[in-house]
C-alpha cells in the first residue's frame, strides 16, 4: 500500500472530498489549523493534511502534526481515519509516513501521540511503532489522554 499525504507527490490529480473530511468532526480540526496557519504561516508545512491511499477514491482520513517542533524538539502527531475505511492499515501507514518525516528533520527529536484511554486500537498502533507511555494529561477539547512518546534520533 502506498499512502499519499496532501501536499505530496501525486495529490494534485486527486479530487472529491468525502463526507467524513467535510464533517463537523473534521471541520473543527480544519478551523483550528487554519487559524494556526494564519497566525504563523511557517507552520503550514507541519499541520493536518489529507490521507490518500492507492485504489481509494477520495481521502481516507486526515493526519499531521499539531505544529512545528517545540524547544525540546517534540512534535505531536495525530491521525483520524474515516470510519468507512478503518481496520485497513491506513492509520498505521499515516503514522509511519509522519515518523519518516520526523526522522528526516534534524530539529525533531521526539514524536508524541496523545490517546484517549478507551481508544485501544490507536494505542496498539503507537505501541507497535515503538512509542512508550510517558504520562497523562487533560486536554480541553479531548478530555483525559494518555501521553505516548518515541525518540526519533
In this predicted model, what pLDDT tens digit does every residue of 72-119 receive, in sequence order? 999 999 999 999 999 999 999 999 999 999 999 999 999 999 999 999
Whether residue 130 has pLDDT greater than 70: yes
In this predicted structure, the answer to whether residue 1 has a pLDDT above a threshold of 60 is no
Domain with 66 in it: 3-108
Is 19 among the domain residues?
Answer: yes
Residue 27 included in any domain: yes
The fraction of the chain above a pLDDT of 90, given in percent, is 59
Q: Which residue has the cell 499512502?
A: 3
Contact 50, 12 (CB under 8 A): no
Look at residue 61 and tell me if it is in a domain: yes
Query: Which pLDDT does position 140 carry in this prediction?
Result: 87
Edge-first strand listing for the sheet containing 49-53: 3-5, 49-53, 61-65, 74-81, 110-115, 143-151, 132-139
C-alpha cell at 87: 481496520
**54 assigned to some structural domain:** yes
Mean pLDDT of 5-32: 66
Give tens-digit pLDDT for 67-77.
Answer: 999 999 999 99
Compute the mean pLDDT over every residue in the chain, rounded to the nearest whole number.
87
Using the predicted structure, report yes or no on whether residue 149 has a pLDDT greater than 70. Answer: yes
Contact between 80 and 61 under an 8 Å Cβ cutoff? The reply is yes
User: Averaged over 121-139, what is the pLDDT?
Assistant: 97
Contacts of 22 (CB under 8 A, 6+ apart): none
Give the C-alpha separation, 62 to 7, whole Å: 12
Confidence of residue 20 (pLDDT cuts 50, 70, 90): confident
Total domains present in the chain? 1
- pLDDT of 16: 63
Per-residue pLDDT for 145 more than 70? yes
62 occurs within a structural domain: yes
Specify which of 5-9, 14-18, 134-138 reaches the highest per-range mean pLDDT: 134-138
Amino acid at each position: 500500500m502506498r499512502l499519499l499525504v496532501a501536499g505530496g507527490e501525486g495529490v494534485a490529480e486527486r479530487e472529491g472530498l468525502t463526507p467524513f473530511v467535510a464533517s463537523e468532526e473534521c471541520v473543527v480540526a480544519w478551523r483550528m489549523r487554519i487559524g494556526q496557519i494564519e497566525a504563523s504561516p511557517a507552520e503550514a508545512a507541519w499541520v493536518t493534511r489529507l490521507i490518500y491511499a492507492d485504489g481509494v477514491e477520495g481521502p481516507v482520513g486526515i493526519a499531521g502534526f499539531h505544529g512545528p517542533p517545540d524547544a525540546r524538539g517534540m512534535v505531536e502527531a495525530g491521525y483520524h481515519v474515516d470510519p468507512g475505511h478503518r481496520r485497513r492499515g491506513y492509520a498505521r501507514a499515516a503514522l509511519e509516513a509522519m515518523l519518516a518525516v520526523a526522522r528526516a528533520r534534524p530539529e525533531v527529536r521526539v514524536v508524541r501521540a496523545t490517546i484517549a484511554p478507551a481508544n485501544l486500537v490507536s494505542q496498539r498502533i503507537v505501541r507497535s511503532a515503538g512509542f512508550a507511555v510517558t504520562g497523562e494529561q487533560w486536554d480541553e477539547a479531548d478530555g483525559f489522554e494518555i501521553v505516548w512518546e518515541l525518540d526519533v534520533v
